[in-house]
Amino acid sequence: MLARGSGPEQRTRLAVQWRQISWIACWIALCAVEALPACPFSCKCDSRSLEVDCSGLGLTMVPPDLPAATRTLLLLNNKLSALPSWAFANLSSLQRLDLSNNFLDQLPRSIFGDLTNLTELQLRNNSIRTLDRDLLQHSPLLRHLDLSINGLAQLPAGLFDGLPALRSLSLRSNRLQNLDRLTFEPLASLQLLQVGDNPWECDCNLRDFKHWMEWFSYRGGRLDQLACTLPKELRGKDMRVVPMEMFNYCSQLEDENSSAGLDIPGPPCTKASPEPAKPKPGAEPEPEPSTACPQKQRYRPVSVRRAIGTVIIAGVVCGIVCIMMVVAAAYGCIYASLMAKYHRELKKRQPLMGDPEGEHEDQKQISSVA
């Protein structure tokens, strides 16, 4: 580096230059550490919004070196399939997590356990078939949850128990056939629910959820179409417009079961359900919509009262029609017998008027005598 024969002047100049260079290098390094706290390889990091964008990179695993301060993490359009339970460990500042358009099939029960500040979770278009009931228990601030385009056939009871702040939920395009109203009771802030494009079976199992939907709509919630797939007679019909009278047979079935002594003890009703939604001030909500146990006597919404009214009116109309039919029949009988009597008398009075019928009868009588 330094020539042996160089003078002291040159040496000091070089020293100054060296100091400047190292200072600049140090400054750059400091800045990098401050601005991009170890941005994962090939992801884009925004130091202002604390967003880490790793979308569309063909990733098969979540980058292990995510900055702990990350607020938004975009992992959509990758090839993630099975994730380890520590994939999002320590990301307690994370607010938005987008895992859409991957191949996730199963999520470990504690994978979101550290995401205590999460407000939005996108799991759209994966291959999720089951969810653990404790999956979302540690994210009480969650407001938006998208589970559309997956393979969910049912939701575990209690899945939404820790989500009092959830405002929008999408279950579109899954394989759901019915839902349990108890699963949805804790969603006190829910405003938007998407359930379309599922193979709904509009039978007794969906009856209580129909009640819940009516109550949900009543308190201003928005719901897309819940079109029945089965039974055939209801195919394509929205479950909400199927009259409640169609499900009267369900109570009969239940009665038969309980009278046969086969009654299985219902879901535990001891658990206090949270108050479902602040009802609109002034508006009186349905009687006891907050009850966690869908007992027949306690839960009697408008449609049931309407059903009773319909039954009474139908009875009265049927009664009137029956009476009219009896009267008509009696009239017909009396008329017929009168006419028969009249004809007989006519025949008796005019036996020799050449009445061919009379002749025939006479002949018949003769032949029978012979």
Ligand X SMILES: *[C@@H]1O[C@H](CO)[C@@H](O)[C@H](O)[C@H]1NC(C)=O
Please tell me the number of Cα atoms within 13 Å of 14 on its side-chain side: 9
For position 76 contacting ligand X by CB under 6 A, the verdict is no
For position 50 contacting ligand X by CB under 6 A, the verdict is no
For position 246 contacting ligand X by CB under 6 A, the verdict is no
For position 293 contacting ligand X by CB under 6 A, the verdict is no
Q: Of the ranges 27-35, 85-93, 239-247, 281-289, which one interacts with ligand X (CB under 6 A)?
A: 85-93
> CA-to-CA distance for 316 and 270, rounded, in angstroms?
43
Least distance in angstroms from the C-beta of 275 to ligand X: 24
Least distance in angstroms from the C-beta of 138 to ligand X: 12
For position 304 contacting ligand X by CB under 6 A, the verdict is no
Among 55, 72, 81, 93, binds ligand X (CB under 6 A): 93
Among 17, 90, 127, 350, binds ligand X (CB under 6 A): 90
Return the number of the residue (73 or 149) whose C-beta is nearest ligand X.
Answer: 149
Return the number of the residue (71 or 347) whose C-beta is nearest ligand X.
Answer: 71
Least distance in angstroms from the C-beta of 318 to ligand X: 28
Return the number of the residue (254 or 361) whose C-beta is nearest ligand X.
Answer: 254
Q: Which of residues 113-142 bind ligand X (CB under 6 A)?
A: 117, 125
Residues in the chain: 370
Return the number of the residue (69 or 320) whose C-beta is nearest ligand X.
Answer: 69
Return the number of the residue (5 or 261) whose C-beta is nearest ligand X.
Answer: 261
Q: Which of residues 190-219 bind ligand X (CB under 6 A)?
A: 204
Closest residue by Cα to residue 210 from 134, 303, 82: 303
Least distance in angstroms from the C-beta of 103 to ligand X: 6
Ramachandran bin of 122, using left for φ above 0, alpha for ψ from -120 to 50, beta for the remaining angles: beta
Contact 200, 229 (CB under 8 A): yes
For position 254 contacting ligand X by CB under 6 A, the verdict is yes
Q: Of the ranges 45-53, 90-98, 195-203, 292-300, which one interacts with ligand X (CB under 6 A)?
A: 90-98
> CA-to-CA distance for 107 and 304, rounded, in angstroms?
41
Contact 214, 221 (CB under 8 A): no
> CA-to-CA distance for 29 and 124, rounded, in angstroms?
39
Residues near ligand X (CB under 6 A), total: 15
Return the number of the residue (92 or 273) whose C-beta is nearest ligand X.
Answer: 92
> CA-to-CA distance for 224 and 235, rounded, in angstroms?
16
For position 86 contacting ligand X by CB under 6 A, the verdict is yes
For position 89 contacting ligand X by CB under 6 A, the verdict is yes
Rg (CA), the chain: 39
Instruction: Give 142's contacts (C-beta < 8 A, 6+ positions apart).
Output: 118, 119, 120, 121, 136, 163, 165, 166
Among 241, 262, 352, 369, binds ligand X (CB under 6 A): 262
> CA-to-CA distance for 194 and 63, rounded, in angstroms?
32
Return the number of the residue (119 or 137) whose C-beta is nearest ligand X.
Answer: 119
What are residue 299's phi and psi, to 5 degrees?
Answer: -110, 105
Contact 73, 46 (CB under 8 A): no
For position 273 contacting ligand X by CB under 6 A, the verdict is no
Least distance in angstroms from the C-beta of 263 to ligand X: 8
Looking at residue 144, the DSSP 8-state letter turns out to be E
Instruction: Tell me how far CA of residue 357 lies from CA of 333, 339, 364, in angstroms.
Output: 24, 17, 10
Instruction: Tell me how far CA of residue 98 lies from CA of 88, 193, 369, in angstroms.
Output: 12, 19, 104
Q: Of the ranges 37-45, 154-162, 178-186, 248-256, which one interacts with ligand X (CB under 6 A)?
A: 248-256
Interacting residues with ligand X (CB under 6 A) = 86, 89-90, 92-93, 101, 117, 125, 149, 204, 250, 253-254, 257, 262
